[in-house]
Amino acid sequence: MRHLDGLHLLYPFYGARRLRDAIVDDHGLIVNRKLVRRLMILMDIQAIFPDNKGTSKPDKVHRIYPYLLKNLEIYHSNRVVVKILPYLPRAPGFSLF
């Protein structure tokens, strides 16, 4: 626990896996990740990591496009066709995506 506490003070951003690797490399002790995790819980320490930025939240200025096929009755498989351009026109010629 003393080694774990010292390493956590030096590297507060290390989780159980990297702390385990540091203990094996620095002190030569053979421990597994589960033991390190259990000791971290017992000592009430955890890795410092950035918060979730909320990347799944929609932006307020982003325009919401209407669903254009809402009132269209699709009665067979070829009723709605999507056209995809596999080539983009460029100055010297054409190129793939």
What confidence score (pLDDT) does residue 85 get? 60
Question: What pTM did the predictor assign?
Answer: 0.53
What confidence score (pLDDT) does residue 37 get? 95
15-21 average pLDDT score: 94
Does 53 or 63 have the greater pLDDT score? 63
What residues have CB less than 8 Å from 3, skipping those under 6 apart? 23, 26, 27, 29
pLDDT at residue 41 above 80?
Answer: yes
What residues have CB less than 8 Å from 91, skipping those under 6 apart? none
pLDDT at residue 51 above 90?
Answer: no
